[in-house]
Structure 1
Amino acid sequence: MRFMVPIIAGMFLSVPLQATAITATEFEKLRNQVRNTYANSRQLGLEEVNKILANSELNLEQKIIMTNYKAWVLSGNNKLDEAMITLVEFESMVAKSKDKSLMYGYYNISGNIYSHLGLYQEALNHYKQALPFAKMRNNNLVMQTENNIAVIYLKLHLYNNAAEIFKKFREYSKTNNHTFNESFTSNLLAKALLGLKKYDQALELLSNIYNLQKSNDFLSHQIVNLTTQGKIYNSQAQYKKAEIILKKALNLLNENNLQSDKLAVVLELAKTYKAQNKPALALAQIQSIDLKNKKISDYQLLLATQELSASLHLQQKNYHAAIDAYKQLYKTQEKILRRQTSTNLAKALAELDITTKEAEIELLTKSNQVQASKNKANKVIFMAIAFALCSILIVLTLMTVRTKQQKNALSKTLTKLHNTQAQLIEIEKIASLTALVSGMAHQLNTPIGTIVTASSLIDDQLTLICQKFRSQELSSKHLHSFLNDTNDAKDLIQASIARLASIVEEFKALNVSIDLDKPLVQFNLTEEISRRVLPFSSYLGKCIKFDIQGDNVVITSYPAIIGDILKTLIINSCEHGFAIKLHGLIEIEIKAFPKHVEIIYQDNGVGIKETILHDIFTPFYTTNMGDKHLGLGLNVVFNAVKFNLKGEICAEPYEHGARFVISLPIDARLVDDTSY
């Protein structure tokens, strides 16, 4: 997380120095030398730290400080495995020191590494563990650590939590005249306000802080400021304003030859063009960046850019380019998982290595004690040997326990990876449920609205007729008009109720557990299909001819469900494919394979546009909405094939009509339910 360097750069550990060959003044010069070198070149900074650590005149506290520097510099050089190994060494050294507050460096840099890896919950845990040690040192570290926690809250979309801390840190920075931190945190606060959809407050904050950033030549902060403004305008659908502000950011980047924040600006500008239905311009922006550049370290940003690139290529029907973009996307996802696993494994192995070395040192110490005991007197030799053996046994026991702990830690890491995958699947489920609920609300809204309107009409008419009756002005004409109006309203209500009942029945069809209490049966598929489709030879006034051919195969499945699926497809062909013709041909071909069978269904109707093939199984999607079609038929078919029959179904492009391919297992009893 490059944006955290300015805040944490001043957080390298410092401790009171003991008398040593390198004085406190000399060591302070070395620290400043490392900081200055690192500011100019991360690689040279690393070389400088290694050079100082090679000095044998450093005492324990000085080595701890420089090891802390080394871990941070390695992290800045994106060498996360080495940084984690160095942190394990750092933790071991701190254990030997009296000043336990030095553990702040371990948890703080660990949090930064996990944030780099995209393991934000792990990063949050480490930053929170750093907080008690920060309180043991000074208030400045406390504020900076809380700000790091707020950055992770921002990543986890906990915008309220993040905003409260950013406000507190911003005021702290202003009070102490920390202009750089005030500018930096103002940008973060604006992002939190954007997440809370407080667009006006966010824009006002960014506008107020921009002059401070410009006057202090904080170029990187200006870029982030302008990019965030662009995101806000995009969120408000003010795409022209977003385009202007993002182009300004891009020009500022190019004028100053800055590359670190360019990907974020280009991605947001591409989103702006896509929102304006300008896919070519959006692609041109993305293609101006080399997405295969190994120097790109923000993998989450890279994933978002590759995903947008793939969707734009699909929109442009550049299928080869889209496939290539998806390949790069999957490679990036794999690289992220490999980095996470590699770093956690490096940490575990380093901890195991440290434990082993400590045990070896302890074992060697005990062995020397045994030898010394031999030299002292024969009377105590056996006691010394017994003591040494006991010590060895204890050490081995400790090593065994520690090894088990490391294995448990690795197991927990794998569990976290599985949980992350489960969370992604859950997010997809929630998105699907949201779409389903929205569709239901849309379908139910019209008849309910009609009922409400008709009920209001009846209520108004009743009020009017009551007034006429009380004032003795009621005439037969008024009564006749009242009866006609209320009768019409009653008809509307009844029709709407009937429509609601029809819609509810169609909603019930979404339940995929269709007659599964009946046992699976073995039957001849060709004969069963012929028997099921025969009643539809004459349907909706149309003459349908069926051509059934292919392999003669026996399967074990649910024939009734297969019949219902074919019935839905035939009705779909009649209502959509044969809408303007009285005669139609439906071909059904059966292909048998060792473990599955394919049913290829195709008609000679008007067909399905290739651009909507991926949408037709979506709930409520229909091209004939005005004709009281809910768009649930094919979704029910999809659910029945997928979950009841344990198979697959897809719609394929076909120039002579509609074409569906259904793949079913030969024996549904042999299919593992956990795979669906």
Structure 2
Amino acid sequence: MKYLFLSTLCIVVMLSSFNNNAEETLSEQTLKSAFIGQFSHFINWPNSPKQLNVAYMGNDDQYWQALQNMASSGASKYALTLSRISNAEHVLLTDAHILVIGQSHNRYISGINALLGDRATLLVSEYVTDNKLIGINFYKTNKQTLSFNLNRYNLLYQGLSISEDIVLLGGSEIDVAHMVKEMTSKLSDSAKQIDKLNSHIRTQEISITEKQKQIEKKQQSINLKNQELELLSEKIKQTQFDHEKQLDDLASQLAQKEHLLEDKQNKVSDTQNELDKMNEQSRKLTALIDKNQQHIEQQTQKLSRLSNGLKEKEQALQVKEKQVEQTTNVLFISLGALIAFAVLAANLWYLSKRKQALNKLLEAHNEELENINQQLITTQKQLVESEKMASLAGLVTGVAHEVNTPLGAAITAVTHLSAISTEIYSDFKDKKLSSQKFERILEEQLQATDIIFKNLCRSADLIKSFKQVSADQVSEAAREFEIGDYLHEIITSLKHELKRAQVHVSIRCDFQKRIYTYPGVFSQVLTNLVINSLIHGFKSQQAGHIQLEVKQENGHLFIHYQDNGCGIDKQNLDKIFDPFFTTNRNSGSTGLGLSICYNLITQKMQGNITCLESENGAHFELSFPFTIQT
């Protein structure tokens, strides 16, 4: 394999230097000879000869010299012997394994093919336009680069087997095979990436579940704290209300006491005034004591009574002082209650700050959950693209298998037609052609032509259906189309899978108007439903039936999809469109097929898809408007 890669690399370097008009050290004949030497590495002859006979028929001496140089350089894995012939009659005498035809002798290609028949001879030509006559043919591309194309069926007819590694040399038909091979590699890489993403998603789901449990515990703790805060707040409010009520009562009592005290003070002041007046009178009476002793005694009695009244007033003042002292004590108690209230308010402030911190922590967790959700959405988009590419790859494989059958029949008919044409030409040339034989051969030619025409038409229909469906799935552009014809094209593209599973599809569509929506999205949804039926619905059946019915109502299309498979359990109907839900995970199912269908129908086509209860198989209803709003 290492030698094969190095030799191919050398040819590519030589070819690029030739095509880029660098220093012209290699001629076109030298490059063709190098290609011919490399062909022996990828084509196997019957009986595995140790030596290959190479014959050249042409007028190009440089080409002949280049072939001799290639044979002597050991570029082929076989020992090569060269011979040069001048006309077609010498072809059968050379017993050549490789016959190289120069451009000057292209007019003999048809006769040489007839002479070779099914002999194991590799026919190498150049610039031949009729691909039915060639084995391997050199040509120049639009960029003036040297390339080649090959007719696999002629090579197989001649008993030559071809290695798939011939794609390393290039070629027009080979490019398609290389593209399919590269797509297969990418799909393999996508499958590995899907497995990694599934593992990552499961890890994220476990992490999310644990974080949700932690958040629930913290939420419960916060709820308990909130309840305690509410109870404490109610107690504080009740205590504050009681204290305010007591303060109001005390303030009212104090106001009354102050009013009484003020009255008493006014009375004391009046009494003092009276005492002052009495003292003045006493002084006057002292002066008149000698004159009116009786009057003094009377005044003395009055003074005694007034003194008793003063004592009573003093006792009353002492009682008032005790009451004021009690009021002061009550005020101190109220002040202590206010201090306790302030402490409670500080606790409430602390709890409020704690609650704010917990809220910030909760917001951080919510933001983290949102980021994880965004990652899940991105992962889902990648899985959708991988699912789309897998669906397209399956479509390519199925159509290639279906196209191979009619093309093989057409090639067989062409080969038979060529053989009987050669036979009739030989008999005509030898003047041995009878009318009966001529009539028989004409009938066989008509039959072969009819077979070729029917099989080529069948191949064209398959390729047309595949081309339209695959182009729609790749572009995802909205366009106008007829739903009935498009349903038939989708089913035709899935014909290989349906035939292998022995499943028949019937379509009932009376709707003749054209609709404007996304045909690629619709084909992907319908393809997923059919593949689901083949994998899940008919896994234990030898044959099945799928029915599609199209109806219209109030500007919407309703498509009923129903199969007669094993059906869906009723307890799974509500979860059938959930991401990653599957009942067949052990067989490699990811559970994304119906979830992707639901998202495409609801978001892209502005419609809806529902799974209906059915006693026989699975029943889906798809609805979407005639005209999409883009």
Q: Could you tell me the TM-score, scaled by structure 2's length?
A: 0.32
Larger radius of gyration: 2
Structure possessing the higher relative contact order (Cα contacts under 8 Å, 6 or more residues apart): 2
Q: Which structure: greater strand fraction?
A: 2
